[in-house]
Amino acid sequence: MGEKRRFSNYILEIIGIIISIIILLPFVLVIFNSAKKSAEIVISPITPPEKWSQLFINMKNVINNANFNYWRAFFSSLFITGVSLALIALFASMAAWVLVRNKTKWSNVIFMLFVAAMVIPFQVVMLPLISTFRTISQFTGINMLSSYKGIIFAYLGFGGSLSIFILHGFIKGIPYELEEAAWIDGCSPEKTFFLVVFPLLKPIHMTILILNGIWIWNDYLLPSLMLGLNGKIRTLPVAVSSFVGSYVKQWDLILTAAFLAMIPIIILFIFAQKQIIEGMVEGSIK
C-alpha cells in the first residue's frame, strides 16, 4: 500500500508540474519577448533575451507613447477596481448577514436567486444591460454609459452573487451569542454589524477582494461595451487592445504593453496569496 501511494503521489506531482508549465509558459514568453526587439521576436520567439536592458527601453517607449497613455489608463483601472471592490465588500457583507440571521422563506428564495445568478454567463445579459443603462440615462439624465458610476454599478451587480455566496457560508460559523451580547449592551443592528460582525469577516474579505479584483482588473468585454474603445475613460485592457490596433506588426511594443498591464495584478497576487489561501480554507471549514 505504501509503494502504491508513493507512486500515485509521484504521478500527481508530475501532472501538477506539467499543468504549471502549461499555465506559466504564456507569461514567460510575454516576459521574454518584452525584452527583445521586434526582429528578434520574429526570428526566435521562445528563447530568452540576450539583453534584459531592452525590457526597460521597451517599457519607456510604451509608457511615453501618446496612443497608449499608460498612466491615464492605469489610474482609471485602479479607480474602477478599488471603488468596485469596496462597494462589493460592503454591500455583499450586509446582504449575506441579513440572509443568514433572518431565516424566512423569502430569505431562502433571495439567496437561491443569488446562487442562480452565478451560473448565468455575462454574454447572455450584456445587450439587455446596455439597453437598460441607455434607457436609464435618457429618463434620468444620469450618464450610466461612458462613466465611472455606470461601470462601477455594473461590477457591483456582477460581483455581488459570488461574494454573497462565499460570505453566507462564512457568517454561519460566527457565534450568534456575540451579536446577542452586543444587543444586550445596547447596540443597534447597524452598530452590531459594523463593530462586531464586519471585523470578523476580514479573512474572507481578502479572498473576495482578490478574486473579484483579478477579474475586474483584467476584464475587457464590459469596459469595451460601456466605455467604448476610444472613449475618454479607458481601462488598461481596453487601452492595450487599442494600442495593438495601432501597432499591428511591432510585437516588441505590443507584448510590452501587455506586460505592463499584467504587472500590478501579478504583484498583488504574489503578496496576497497567503491571505487568499487562508480565507478559502477558513471559509470551507466554517
Q: What is the pLDDT of residues 199-257, one digit of tens each?
A: 888 888 888 888 898 889 989 989 988 888 777 888 998 888 888 766 657 888 888 88
Number of domains into which the chain is organized: 2
**Cα–Cα distance between 192 and 101 in angstroms, integer?**
12
Structural domain harbouring 18: 1-64
Specify burial of residue 39 (Cβ count, 10 A radius: 0-12, 13-18, 19+): exposed
Q: What is the DSSP letter of 195?
A: I
Residues 11 and 49 placed together within one structural domain of the fold: yes
pLDDT given for residue 152 in this prediction: 92
Residues 31 and 142 placed together within one structural domain of the fold: no
The answer to whether the CB of 226 falls within 8 A of the CB of 127 is: no
pLDDT given for residue 1 in this prediction: 53
Residues 50 and 82 placed together within one structural domain of the fold: no
Residues 115 and 154 placed together within one structural domain of the fold: yes
Quote the pTM value. 0.85
Residues 222 and 141 placed together within one structural domain of the fold: yes
The model's pLDDT over 29-83, given as tens digits with 9 standing for 90+, comes to 888 888 888 888 888 888 888 888 888 888 898 888 877 888 898 999 999 999 9
Residues 76 and 154 placed together within one structural domain of the fold: yes
Residues 19 and 155 placed together within one structural domain of the fold: no
Domain closes at, from 12, 40, 64: 64
**Cα–Cα distance between 259 and 44 in angstroms, integer?**
19
The answer to whether the CB of 247 falls within 8 A of the CB of 254 is: yes
Residues 86 and 167 placed together within one structural domain of the fold: yes
Check which CATH number belongs to the domain holding 145 and give it. 1.10.3720.10
Residues 215 and 154 placed together within one structural domain of the fold: yes
Residues 17 and 144 placed together within one structural domain of the fold: no
SS3 45: coil
Residue 24: alpha-carbon gap to chain centroid: 19
pLDDT given for residue 281 in this prediction: 59
Residues 112 and 37 placed together within one structural domain of the fold: no
Mean pLDDT computed over every residue of the chain? 85
User: C-alpha cell of 124?
Assistant: 447572455
Residue 272: is its pLDDT beyond 60? Answer: yes
Domain closes at, from 64, 88, 109: 64
Residue 155: alpha-carbon gap to chain centroid: 10
Residues 248 and 182 placed together within one structural domain of the fold: yes
**Cα–Cα distance between 183 and 186 in angstroms, integer?**
5
**Cα–Cα distance between 255 and 103 in angstroms, integer?**
52
What count of other Cβ atoms lies within 10 Å of the Cβ of residue 125?
A: 14
Domain closes at, from 22, 44, 64: 64
196 Cβ contact partners less than 8 Å away, ≥ 6 residues apart: 178, 179, 182, 187
